[in-house]
Structure 1
Amino acid sequence: KISRIGEGTYGIVYSAKNKETNEIVALKKIRMEKEKDGLPISSLREIALLKSLQHENIINVKDVVVGGAGLHNIFIVMEYCKQDLAYMMDNTKSHFTFSEVKCIMLQLLRGIQYLHKHFIIHRDLKLSNLLITSKGILKIADFGLAKTCGDPPCPMTPNVVTLWYRSPELLLGEKNYSFAVDMWSVGCIFGELLKHRPIMPGNTEMNQLQKIFELLGVPNPKIWSGFDRLPLARNVRFPSTQKYNQLKVEFPHVSDNVIDLLNGLLTYDPQKRFTVNQAIHHKYFKESP
């Protein structure tokens, strides 16, 4: 082990050197403290998922190593990436250029396209889970909350996705959600890359909904049929004053295509929200820069 480099949803991540090859790798130590009955299910899920995934924009798992008695030290050996996008943003004063944002977004969408094609919802997309290699390749990481999804979707917990990137249907208690929750997170990431700061940084679930209403206007049955029947909708005060979408006000210096892509990703109704295929073929990726 060389040094601790971060902490994922279900484990601590270290950098280390392979003594045989001198290659630097990342070691994710699986958290065992709360597990009396062996490996956490989430860790088994993450290991199985990652070993099955092979894509340039998804972190590559090289091996799983067990050390010590009684399975107490289990490490996932992964390719090493020096930094994540959150670290890069926090430690650089200059904003990403429009062409850098586009390059990041295209790689992110390609990785998600691969996941969704294989019926996997990541469920925790955010800047700190997007790693960048020394060659500028984006890698989607931390699959501790990822889950395979059938059609129709089976009921799942709505308590997933870091708050600032959590979709309105999750905040309102929807259990039968699908790939659209990832696409909302992508919209939040897109806005954050353009703004150089989180676009909806709520501090509670109610406050998060308030931030969404302030940016996108208050939903109504015309734009999102059935939202008022979601489990937690009756607990929410929907303000009557904030009716209009503010994306053009918040992003005054971007093209119409950027606004259109943001609108498509940050659509209230998950059935109408852009799919990854719609996003990846959007006009935004054909315009310059």
Structure 2
Amino acid sequence: MNRRYLSQRARPENKRYLMLEQLGTGTYGSVRKAYDLETHEFVAVKQIKHQHGEFNISQTTIQEIALLKEMAHENIVRFVDVRSDPLEKTVELVSELLETDFFMYLHRVDQRLHSEQFVRSVLFQVLKAVGYLHANWVIHRDLKPSNILLNGDGKAKLADFGFARSFQAPPEALSRDKVRVTHWYQPPEQALGTEM
């Protein structure tokens, strides 16, 4: 769909984003591609649904918003906006849209076409993002291929700060948190019961 067509469509009352196709789903809700009717750019909208009775924004969502608003690094996804809809019981986190993620790249592209140089470049960019986070006392805790977004120019950006948390020196024991990382990507020391 081209931008001119989207700009000419009737703008829904009090709506800034025109929702397009769904990009993915998870336990939190879904991510959709949307068109920003003010900036005329495509964006990603993470819709977080609250299913228990009244409309409450979870502490995890508040923490994710706070961290994303503070992050400013070339290899971390750019935060654009946050919206809430008490009637729909959703919170929407809006960020820049990138073309794909590292998981899709690894599974859609023929293995013979995987350039060692490109994979090294992606990993270097991820390490730069992680270095920035750690220098600012933040740990991501959900590093996995689907949370590394890619654009057509080979730029990699770290996304999904739902499990991220700020820490201090000396670090507090992580055992206080119920959810620490995605279960399939736990580091061995954490799976074996370390508290740091």
Q: 1:170 is matched by which residue type in structure 2? A: Q
Match of 2:190 in 1: 170
User: Structure 1 residue 23: deviation in Å?
Assistant: 0.7
Match of 1:144 in 2: 162
Q: CA RMSD in A?
A: 1.9
Segment of structure 1 superposing worse, 11-20 or 136-145:
11-20
Structure with larger RCO (C-alpha < 8 A, sep 6+): 2
Secondary structure, in 3 states, of the residue corresponding to 1:24? strand
Residue 127 (1) aligns with residue 140 (2) = no
Match of 1:105 in 2: 123
Residue 74 (1) aligns with residue 94 (2) = no
Change (3 A) 1:7 1:92: same
Change (3 A) 1:119 1:126: same
Paired with 1:9 and 1:110, the residues of 2 have a C-alpha distance of: 28
Paired with 2:169 and 2:53, the residues of 1 have a C-alpha distance of: 32
Match of 1:32 in 2: 50
Q: 1:31 is matched by which residue type in structure 2? A: K
User: Structure 1 residue 163: deviation in Å?
Assistant: 3.4
Match of 2:10 in 1: none
Paired with 1:115 and 1:35, the residues of 2 have a C-alpha distance of: 35
The gaps in structure 1 that reach 5 residues or longer are 178-289
Match of 2:78 in 1: 60
Q: Is the 8 A contact 1:158 1:173 kept in 2?
A: no
State how many pairs are aligned. Answer: 175
Q: Deviations over 1:260-284 (max 9, x none)?
A: xxxxxxxxxxxxxxxxxxxxxxxxx
Secondary structure, in 3 states, of the residue corresponding to 1:2? strand
Q: Deviations over 1:34-83 (max 9, x none)?
A: 474610111111000001100110011111122354x7232111000121
Q: How does 1:152-191 map to 2 (within 5 A)?
A: 152-156=170-174, 157=177, 159-175=179-195, 177=196
Paired with 1:34 and 1:60, the residues of 2 have a C-alpha distance of: 30
Change (3 A) 1:83 1:122: same
User: Structure 1 residue 155: deviation in Å?
Assistant: 2.1
Paired with 1:110 and 1:12, the residues of 2 have a C-alpha distance of: 28
Match of 1:48 in 2: 66
Q: How does 1:218-229 map to 2 (within 5 A)?
A: none
Paired with 1:145 and 1:74, the residues of 2 have a C-alpha distance of: 16
* Structure index of larger Rg: 1
Match of 1:20 in 2: 38
Change (3 A) 1:8 1:22: same
TM-score normalized with structure 1 length? 0.57
Q: 1:106 is matched by which residue type in structure 2? A: F
Moved over 4 A (4+): none
TM-score normalized with structure 2 length? 0.82
The gaps in structure 2 that reach 5 residues or longer are 1-18
- Percent identical pairs in the alignment equals 35
Q: 1:162 is matched by which residue type in structure 2? A: T
Quick check: which one's helix share is greater? 1
Q: How does 1:194-205 map to 2 (within 5 A)?
A: none
Secondary structure, in 3 states, of the residue corresponding to 1:173? coil
